[in-house]
């Protein structure tokens, strides 16, 4: 039975586990064993992991795979991917190989501007606020110089501060809308520190500003926080080839492939139910690389899906066309990524992943991540318009199903061979395994 506890965070890790096991698992040694078997035997490494977050009781493992043969802007990459879903790494690898023979992927960073906002309430004459902002803007920048000087020395910093009137959306609501360049850092802590300083200075200066009436001096700062919607931190990834080069052997011509592919994209552009699944496939590739390189995949997800709705309805992130007998498939997505700071310098596997990618800059990582997403999307659509999505996906999922049924190695070998020519489903695998075991028992 659940119960409350005081001072849980002050308990040792072992005591935390004791309480969890006693409260939720009836003193089960199995629960304790599962939690402790994922502890790292290297105590220093385990301590590092324990200190990433609060109330750590164990480590949660995800497979780290690699997808080789990615040619991006003429350079070869093997891309690390941390993900649990069957067929994602295989699909990315297959798409990489397909395009390797057709010129590879092209990627371009269009812009790298990030956004932060000070949200505040002001009940007074708008023209007085505008006049105050013009007066105080230089002071906002100078008052934050102790925070920005290191970033500025590397070529980054505050790009601009704007006053935005949002009173049409919410009574008395205004913003300081700030744009930043954070170079190879994702920059969340830098941006938030700047914003809090801007808010402090803005409030202090309002109290002594002669152009405000007494009631107007009461500017209410609501909050200061970065935005994970970064429509001006954009990267474009694309592939192109002659239509004839899209042919799938004798099964489908290049022209038929291109026509079906364009129709699939067109449907995702106009039908939100399809667009969500379509874009989820893109994010299979994006999130896997973002996670492997120690970046914030939740921020990326939120920003990308907001971008997919920028025209008023949720739509496909990727697009395709055929012009002059050339097939082109591309997408532009917002990606605020970093290759310094955060986990990038702490997590040993993140360090390894970045080294595997030739120690990329933030711009280079944006290109790699976008390409992984586009490759994943191409692989999914290619399957959908040819063999169907289940043939490849369920083949990859076969081992997971066999493991759920606790098949031994001999059974796995026999059934893997059997399902090379059979449709994979839970019921089919269950029946085949049951039949196999009857034969063995006989």
Which active-site residues does the annotation give?
A: 85, 280, 296, 393
Whole-angstrom distance, CA of residue 212 vs CA of residue 123: 11
Whole-angstrom distance, CA of residue 402 vs CA of residue 271: 36
Which single residue is written with the structure tokens 């169907």?
388
Neighbours of 118 (CB within 10 A): 26
Q: What SS3 state is found at 345?
A: helix
Neighbours of 246 (CB within 10 A): 20
233's CB contacts (< 8 A; 6+ apart) are 111, 112, 113, 114, 334, 335, 336, 366
Which single residue is written with the structure tokens 């025209």?
311
Using the CB atoms, write b or e for 348-379: b if 16+ within 10 Å: eebbebbebbeebebbbbbbbbbbbbbbbbbb
- Closest alpha carbon to 258 in 328, 332, 330, 331: 328
Whole-angstrom distance, CA of residue 1 vs CA of residue 25: 9
Whole-angstrom distance, CA of residue 364 vs CA of residue 288: 16
Distances (CA, A) of 296 to 211, 339, 364: 43, 12, 17
DSSP 201-260: HHHHHHHT-TTS-TGGG--EEEEEEEES--TTSEEEEEEEEEGGGG-BTTTB-HHHHHHH
């Amino acid at each position: 039975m659940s119960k409350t506890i005081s001072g849980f965070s002050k308990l040792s890790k072992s005591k935390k586990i004791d309480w969890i096991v006693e409260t939720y698992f009836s003193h089960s040694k199995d629960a304790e064993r599962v939690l402790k078997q994922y502890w790292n035997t290297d105590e220093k490494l385990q301590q590092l992991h324990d200190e990433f977050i609060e109330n750590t009781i164990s480590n949660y493992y995800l497979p780290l795979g690699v997808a080789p043969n990615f040619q991006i802007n003429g350079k070869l990459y093997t891309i690390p991917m941390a993900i649990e879903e069957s067929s994602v790494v295989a699909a990315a690898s297959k798409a990489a190989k397909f395009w390797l023979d057709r010129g590879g992927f092209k990627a371009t960073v269009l812009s790298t501007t990030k956004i932060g906002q000070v949200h505040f309430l002001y009940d007074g004459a708008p023209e007085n606020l505008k006049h105050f902002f013009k007066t105080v803007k230089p002071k906002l920048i100078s008052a934050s110089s102790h925070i920005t000087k290191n970033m500025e020395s590397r070529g980054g910093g505050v790009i601009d501060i704007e006053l935005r009137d949002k009173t049409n959306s919410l009574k008395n609501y205004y913003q300081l809308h700030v744009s930043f360049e954070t170079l190879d850092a994702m920059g969340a802590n830098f941006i938030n520190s700047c914003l809090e300083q801007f808010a402090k200075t803005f409030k202090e200066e309002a109290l002594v500003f002669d152009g405000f009436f007494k009631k107007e001096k009461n500017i209410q700062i609501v909050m200061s926080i970065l935005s994970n919607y970064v429509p001006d931190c954009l990267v474009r990834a694309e592939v192109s080839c002659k239509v004839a080069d899209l042919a799938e052997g004798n099964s489908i011509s290049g022209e038929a492939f291109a026509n079906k592919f364009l129709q699939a994209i067109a449907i995702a552009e106009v039908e939100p139910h399809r667009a969500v699944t379509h874009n989820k496939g893109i994010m299979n590739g994006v999130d896997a690389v973002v996670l492997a390189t120690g970046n914030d995949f939740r921020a990326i997800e939120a920003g990308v899906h907001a971008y997919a709705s920028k025209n008023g309805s949720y739509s496909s992130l990727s697009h395709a066309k055929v012009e002059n007998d050339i097939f082109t498939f591309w997408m532009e997505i917002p990606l605020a990524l970093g290759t310094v700071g955060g986990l990038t310098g702490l997590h040993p596997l993140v360090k390894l992943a970045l080294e595997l990618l030739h120690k990329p800059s933030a711009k280079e990582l944006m290109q790699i991540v976008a390409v992984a997403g586009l490759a994943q999307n191409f692989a999914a659509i290619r399957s959908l318009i040819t063999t169907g999505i289940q043939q490849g996906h369920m083949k990859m999922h076969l081992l997971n199903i066999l493991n759920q049924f606790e098949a031994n190695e001999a059974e796995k070998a026999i059934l893997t061979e059997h399902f090379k020519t059979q449709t994979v489903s839970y019921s089919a695998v269950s029946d085949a395994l049951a039949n196999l075991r009857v034969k063995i028992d006989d």
